[in-house]
């Protein structure tokens, strides 16, 4: 799709490929290494990743290299873009924004690199809104205004089945993981100021997820919202959660259920669920 303002994001935004293609959003892939094999995350089946993690095979993630962004940006310029808005997962979780900024410095057209301070469809929904604004003819500043409003209003929560994987990636302390393991505590985390903090905790998954639903309802209020549930190899639980959210939130415009980004899954572990509430 040719437009004056090109929209770029990364694979952790969890935007389905057909929607990204339809909206003209360019998606740069993060890297995922499982054992000795390194790939773009899209090339690693979720079931294979989950199996490797359960078997304690080493798993590591990496931001896209700066040249990947450079070629993506130059392709957008070749298609007629006069400016580029490049929106990515939280800089507190990844160096992806740094790689995008390094590439942007090599271009003559303006490139606005935005740290969303979010991930998953908490990032994806605002990116889709920015693409729709660009397609309607908005200037770069107009696109950035739409993007900023959606990012500020969006809430992203994360439920994990075990704290072990977040411990391995340095997202929780050893003490937190030990207590959670001993008491079967299931935490609900929220992205705040770009970092994961604990919103609440409960004994057992159902109680923890009901706590997440309660918070989602409060964040939605009477606004019209887009909601999403992303899961890592636990679709039945995710479908139950979607039903609960639909019953509790009065004005849902768009609702989707997706497999989470493999990059997010690599840190959160099998059984993890992401919940997005994004006011329209």
pLDDT tens-digit map of 41-63 = 999 999 999 999 999 999 999 99
The answer to whether the CB of 149 falls within 8 A of the CB of 279 is no
- Residue 227's region, left for phi above 0, alpha for psi from -120 to 50, else beta, is beta
Domain span at residue 195? Answer: 155-279
User: Residue range 120-130: average pLDDT?
Assistant: 97
Do the domain assignments include residue 47? no
Both 148 and 9 in one domain: the answer is: yes
Both 18 and 138 in one domain: the answer is: yes
Q: Is the pLDDT score of 137 beyond 60?
A: yes
CA-CA distance, 234 to 237, in Å (whole number)? 6
pLDDT of residue 205: 83
Please identify, among 94, 129, 152, the residue that sits at the C-terminal boundary of a domain: 152
CATH (domain of 254):
3.30.1180.10
Do the domain assignments include residue 42? no
Please identify, among 98, 132, 152, the residue that sits at the C-terminal boundary of a domain: 152
Strands 59-62 and 31-34: antiparallel
CATH (domain of 104):
3.40.50.10170
Both 187 and 269 in one domain: the answer is: yes
Give the pLDDT band of residue 16 (cuts 50, 70, 90): very high
Q: Which residues pair with 200 in a beta bridge?
A: 188
Both 177 and 228 in one domain: the answer is: yes
Longest Cα–Cα distance in the chain: 57
pLDDT of residue 181: 52
Both 147 and 226 in one domain: the answer is: no
Alpha-carbon distances, residue 81 vs 67, 143, 155, 264 (angstroms) = 19, 13, 31, 31
Cα-based angle 231, 280, 151 (whole degrees, multiple of 5):
70
pLDDT of residue 195: 81
Q: Is the pLDDT score of 204 beyond 60?
A: yes
- The order of strands in the sheet holding 25-28 is 25-28, 5-10, 83-88, 111-115
Report the domain count for the chain.
2
pLDDT of residue 177: 45
Give percent of the chain with pLDDT exceeding 70: 91
Please identify, among 118, 135, 152, the residue that sits at the C-terminal boundary of a domain: 152
């Amino acid at each position: 799709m040719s437009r004056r303002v090109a929209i770029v994001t990364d694979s952790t935004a969890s935007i389905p490929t057909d929607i990204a293609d339809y909206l003209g959003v360019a998606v740069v892939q993060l890297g995922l290494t499982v054992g000795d094999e390194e790939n773009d995350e899209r090339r690693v089946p979720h079931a294979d990743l989950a199996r490797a993690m359960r078997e304690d095979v080493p798993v590591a993630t990496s931001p896209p290299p700066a040249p990947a962004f450079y070629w993506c940006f130059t392709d957008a310029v070749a298609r007629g873009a006069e400016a580029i808005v490049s929106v990515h997962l939280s800089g507190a979780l990844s160096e992806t924004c740094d790689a995008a900024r390094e590439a942007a410095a090599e271009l003559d057209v303006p490139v606005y690199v935005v740290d969303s301070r979010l991930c998953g469809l908490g990032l994806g929904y605002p990116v889709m809104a920015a693409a729709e604004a660009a397609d309607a003819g908005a200037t770069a500043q107009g696109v950035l205004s739409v993007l900023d409003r959606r990012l500020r209003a969006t809430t992203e929560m994360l439920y994990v089945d075990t704290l072990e994987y977040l411990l391995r990636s340095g997202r929780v302390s050893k003490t937190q993981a030990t207590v959670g393991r001993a008491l079967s505590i299931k935490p609900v985390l929220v992205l705040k100021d770009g970092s994961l903090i604990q919103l609440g905790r409960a004994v057992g998954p159902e109680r923890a997820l009901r706590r997440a639903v309660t918070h989602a309802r409060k964040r939605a209020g009477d606004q019209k919202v887009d909601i999403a549930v992303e899961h890592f190899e636990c679709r039945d639980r995710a479908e139950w959660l979607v039903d609960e959210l639909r019953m509790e939130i009065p004005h849902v415009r768009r609702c989707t259920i997706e497999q989470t980004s493999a990059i997010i899954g690599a840190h959160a572990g099998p059984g993890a669920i992401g919940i997005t509430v994004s006011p329209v």
